[in-house]
Structure 1
Amino acid sequence: MIFKDGTDLFFARQLVNERLQVAREQLPDGVEAVMGPISTGLGEIFLWTVEAEEGARKEDGTPYTPTDLRVIQDWIIKPQLRNVQGVAEINTIGGFAKEYQIAPDPKRLAAYKLTLSDLVTALERNNANVGAGYIERSGEQLLIRAPGQLASIEDIANIVISSSDGTPIRVRNVADVQIGRELRTGAATENGREVVLGTVFMLIGENSRTVSQAVAKKLEEINRSLPEGVVAVTVYDRTNLVEKAIATVKKNLFEGALLVIVILFLFLGNIRAALITALVIPLSMLFTFTGMFSNKVSANLMSLGALDFGIIVDGAVVIVENAIRRLAHAQHHHGRMLTRSERLHEVFAAAKEARRALIFGQLIIMVVYLPIFALTGVAGKMFHPMAFTVVMALLGR
């Protein structure tokens, strides 16, 4: 289902779930409608494989099978990773899902005058934990529960379906019980051998770098608790992609700032003036990052890629050059070195003289980016950060 942009996702899921509750009553037995994870198409942030090392053996001396690896993934790794903050879902591909399979014998059922429905009903009724109230003892209230969940083949085989002349008729009397595997719809291989592939889906709105790092740290802990010879190997970690993107942004910003500073030294012809002008860059970036942090705008290629240090320093260049001109003119007019108060007066006058034109020029540049804030949908989500950072940089210069 696709909702309008800006819709509260959790509220929408609640409405959908209410409709699903109504629809479930009309579905055939055994069919269930389940909502997917609260994630997006780009939510796959971490992948790993569960594999057995060469020559690894179980405690009974047999090698690990794809079913064993799937059991380790489903019952050891997956539950622990689900508890990591920011994880919405864990998907598994490969291996075989372990099943307890019951194959009823029609002839034996008929001999005991039982039907398949009787067998199914007995299995359903004998596979649940129930509460049994409580008892009071010595002023204490002790809760009682009756654990009735099936845990082994023997438990299943010993379930009583009915009785004949006081003799219980058990599942093993009318059916064969064995451990099997679920019919799978996918497989994963690595270097020609079968493995189990796990995928982490990130909760929508979370920081992919933070969640990926937390998952990687948790997977290291899980590896220490796995059976000997079984390892979970990272295949894809979104952290690497994010860090490379951040490194690219840092490199581009540093090179751009360095190039602007060099040009200032070359063309202003005054080291002090060039340094004063160059100070606008870190001050403007500090103002920009403060605004981004306050408004929860992430630093990435889209948000920082539009920054132009030439535009950021152009106002400072105009004011500094005007100040140098006025200082030189005043010194020539007085025929002596200017006092500190005279220099400050000329600098303030130079800034005041160029202030009006610079403010209007800055506003014109900012107005150019205003239509971007009117964009909606995917285009708005892509370009809003870019326009925001440019406007913040211009305000902070």
Structure 2
Amino acid sequence: MVEKLIAFSMRNRFLVLLFAAGVFAYGIYSVKTSKIDAIPDLSENQVIVLTEWMGRSPQIIEDQVTYPLVTNLQGLPRVKYVRANSMFGMSFVYVIFDDDVDVYWARTRVLERLSSIGNSLPEGVVPAMGPDGTGVGHILWYTLDAPGMDLGEQRAVQDWYIKFALQNVAGVSEIASFGGFQKQYQITIDPNKLSYYKLSVQDVMRTVNANNNEAGGRKFEMSDVGYIIKTTGYLKSMEEIGSLAVKTQNSIPVRIRDVATVQMSGESRLGIFDYNGEGEAVGGIVVLRYGENADEVIKNVKAKMIEVSKGLPEGVKFNIVYDRGELIEESISSITTTLIEEMIVVTIIVIVFLFHWRSAVSIVIQIPITIAASFIILNAFDISSNIMSLTGIALAIGVIVDNGIIMSENAYKHLAVRQAELGELRKKGDTHVE
């Protein structure tokens, strides 16, 4: 088979050169379109189910939320195992699928199962799936440099402006906010006053829920003009909350401010984000969507940040604290430099030892063609160009050159033997020798 292939190549040199040129051109295109990342994604094929039930202890979360979810999700097809973690007010369930399962197929199966287990959970508890990212999806971390702005205002800018803008970038799965205070109205109930007026905490909660709502009316026409009638009932200030009547005693309303104190404060936190020991900071984490090009997404996010900066309050700017793009550039630059140096060194050694330019060219030309063809295979198997795959290509250059040298030496040996045989026949006067 090999002999026939060699014979065919020798008889059709133009076709072989044309095929090699086509492979090289397609390889160059594959290099330009290859996904670039610093490290390979070796994370498990998983779907995360997050459930919040604030104010409950880890044991209650484990018994009433985590256990029902785990037992129901274990029966999904192509699932290897299910892991779970319960903490204060939150439950995390990790559904690990087989490696060859499409991640979006897996998310669909989990979503179907979640829609059917709502009755197994406490009232008001709704599980949700995590972002369609991976364990190495954190590609960019940033904080806000906002002198003179308190942490609550910074977090509001992050949650209601920056987050929504950056999430629109193609390839971004989620912008996870961290740090600062999430502003909220807090009602601090005095138990003595509550007992005096013979009220309960549930009475106060029902009052707030019932009065923080809007109701629609109907369309009213007057003078050929249509008006939409509705009631505006959303609470907009601490004074409005304090003025809500919980009940009426002897024709006198008992208001929330009579039994509680209403104030604006931040949501309870389980930790803080400190930046270089300089104090607390507010920022976000850019999570890469599964299967996207990390290098391209990082560049698009940075371009979007420049656009978003124009709408930030005066003096507020981005401070990038972790950028995988720099690691990608350094890794690719290092590997590229190594490849070029190896190609130059190998070319010099081959020319010096063979001392025959045609043989040297035939060997050296295999290096760029083989490297270009390697990227075709990488793209075909959806493998990113990272430090591991590029290092493997660099190490394989020696094997590529060895193959060419062995073939050249073998050809020279057979040609020399053939020339010697022809010389002997000529000396003997064989007239049929050509």
Same-fold status (TM-score > 0.5) = yes
CA–CA distance in 2 between the matches of 1:132 and 1:329?
103
- 1:4 alignment counterpart: 98
- 1:298 alignment counterpart: 384
- 1:51 offset after TM fit, Å? 3.1
CA–CA distance in 1 between the matches of 2:152 and 2:217?
37
- 1:264 offset after TM fit, Å? 0.9
Evaluate the alpha carbon distance shift between residue 65 and residue 294 of structure 1 in structure 2; reply closer, same or farther with a 3 A threshold. Answer: same
- 2:138 alignment counterpart: 44
User: In structure 2, which of residues 282, 287, 292 is the aligned counterpart of residue 206 of structure 1?
Assistant: 292
CA–CA distance in 2 between the matches of 1:314 and 1:280?
11
Residue deviations 1:104-142, cap 9 Å, x none? 445665676654323212322333456657689999999
TM-score by structure 1 length? 0.68
CA–CA distance in 1 between the matches of 2:101 and 2:220?
50
Evaluate the alpha carbon distance shift between residue 207 and residue 148 of structure 1 in structure 2; reply closer, same or farther with a 3 A threshold. Answer: farther
Evaluate the alpha carbon distance shift between residue 134 and residue 21 of structure 1 in structure 2; reply closer, same or farther with a 3 A threshold. Answer: farther
CA–CA distance in 1 between the matches of 2:233 and 2:379?
53
CA–CA distance in 2 between the matches of 1:88 and 1:319?
51
- 1:316 alignment counterpart: 404
Evaluate the alpha carbon distance shift between residue 262 and residue 10 of structure 1 in structure 2; reply closer, same or farther with a 3 A threshold. Answer: same
CA–CA distance in 2 between the matches of 1:304 and 1:114?
70
One-letter amino acid of the counterpart of residue 313, structure 1: V
- 1:232 alignment counterpart: 318
CA–CA distance in 2 between the matches of 1:20 and 1:140?
48
Evaluate the alpha carbon distance shift between residue 162 and residue 15 of structure 1 in structure 2; reply closer, same or farther with a 3 A threshold. Answer: farther
TM-score by structure 2 length? 0.63
Where 2:271 maps in the other structure, the secondary structure is coil
Determine if contact 1:268/1:321 at 8 Å carries over to the other structure: no
- 2:282 alignment counterpart: 196
Where 1:243 maps in the other structure, the secondary structure is helix
- 1:80 alignment counterpart: 165
Evaluate the alpha carbon distance shift between residue 281 and residue 78 of structure 1 in structure 2; reply closer, same or farther with a 3 A threshold. Answer: same
- 1:100 offset after TM fit, Å? 0.7
Q: Unaligned 5+ residue runs, structure 1?
A: 57-63, 335-345, 347-397
- 1:239 offset after TM fit, Å? 0.8
The yes-or-no answer on 1:122 pairing with 2:213 is: no
Q: Unaligned 5+ residue runs, structure 2?
A: 1-93, 424-433
Where 1:265 maps in the other structure, the secondary structure is helix
CA–CA distance in 1 between the matches of 2:351 and 2:197?
100
One-letter amino acid of the counterpart of residue 122, structure 1: T
Where 1:91 maps in the other structure, the secondary structure is strand
One-letter amino acid of the counterpart of residue 91, structure 1: A
- 1:369 alignment counterpart: none
Mapping 1:236-385, distance limit 5 Å: 236-307=322-393, 308-321=396-409, 326=415
Evaluate the alpha carbon distance shift between residue 136 and residue 253 of structure 1 in structure 2; reply closer, same or farther with a 3 A threshold. Answer: farther
Report percent identity of matched pairs: 36
One-letter amino acid of the counterpart of residue 216, structure 1: K
Where 1:194 maps in the other structure, the secondary structure is coil
- 1:45 offset after TM fit, Å? 1.2
Evaluate the alpha carbon distance shift between residue 283 and residue 69 of structure 1 in structure 2; reply closer, same or farther with a 3 A threshold. Answer: same
Where 1:188 maps in the other structure, the secondary structure is coil
- 1:218 alignment counterpart: 304
Evaluate the alpha carbon distance shift between residue 287 and residue 70 of structure 1 in structure 2; reply closer, same or farther with a 3 A threshold. Answer: same
Residue deviations 1:321-360, cap 9 Å, x none? 56667499769979xxxxxxxxxxx9xxxxxxxxxxxxxx
Mapping 1:97-112, distance limit 5 Å: 97-105=182-190
Mean Cα displacement is larger for which, 155-164 or 213-222?
155-164
CA–CA distance in 1 between the matches of 2:217 and 2:291?
43
Residue deviations 1:275-306, cap 9 Å, x none? 23211212222222233334432222222322
Evaluate the alpha carbon distance shift between residue 156 and residue 139 of structure 1 in structure 2; reply closer, same or farther with a 3 A threshold. Answer: same
CA–CA distance in 1 between the matches of 2:341 and 2:409?
24
CA–CA distance in 2 between the matches of 1:142 and 1:241?
60
Where 1:185 maps in the other structure, the secondary structure is coil
Determine if contact 1:157/1:171 at 8 Å carries over to the other structure: yes
Q: How many residues align?
A: 326
Evaluate the alpha carbon distance shift between residue 45 and residue 128 of structure 1 in structure 2; reply closer, same or farther with a 3 A threshold. Answer: farther
Where 1:305 maps in the other structure, the secondary structure is helix
Structure possessing the higher relative contact order (Cα contacts under 8 Å, 6 or more residues apart): 2
Determine if contact 1:46/1:236 at 8 Å carries over to the other structure: yes
CA–CA distance in 2 between the matches of 1:138 and 1:316?
93
